[in-house]
Amino acid sequence: MNQIKADLNHYRDSFPIAIVVSQFNHEITHKLQQGAVDRLIECGFTGEDITVVEVPGAVEIPLIAQQLAKQNKYAAIIALGAVIRGDTSHYDYVCQAVSTGCQRVALDFNLPVIFGVLTTENEAQALDRVGGAHGHKGVDAVDCARSMVAIFKQFR
């Protein structure tokens, strides 16, 4: 049986990586970004490996991810944001647009685009996911990106 999987215990290579982070819900998105950058540095990445692009809101993430993908210089792109449900259906439209847009970039460019956009019912749930009861989704996004790049290398 052939098995393809990422064994990060033996995978220590850094690579060019981009992070697109929404500034809307800044208290939460800043923590996502900081957790991701801290994790990258912990894993041996340098400032030269990491590009961070801040965008106004979550809806803008896919367009900038697409622009980064077009550069053909990043091994992975991480999308970070926080969409918190309000009193209108706007939440549903934003979540769908960001999710579909990021997936489209991944498939169109054959590039891991890691979806680290929180979609929560309230701010407390979001805070639980940036170092609270549900871990740190910025850190998880980096681990996912590293895994995907390791898996991609096995196909080349």
Could you list the active site residues? 90
How many helices and strands, by DSSP H and E, does the chain display? 5, 6
Q: Is the dihedral angle over the CA atoms 144, 149, 153, 156 positive or is it negative?
A: positive
H-type alpha helices, 10-136: 26-42, 61-70, 90-109, 123-128
Name the packing angle between helices 90-109 and 61-70 (round to 10°): 10
CA–CA dist 126, 119 (Å, integer):
8
List for the chain the helix, strand, coil content (%; round to 5): 50, 20, 30
Closest CA to 143 of 48, 22, 25, 11: 11
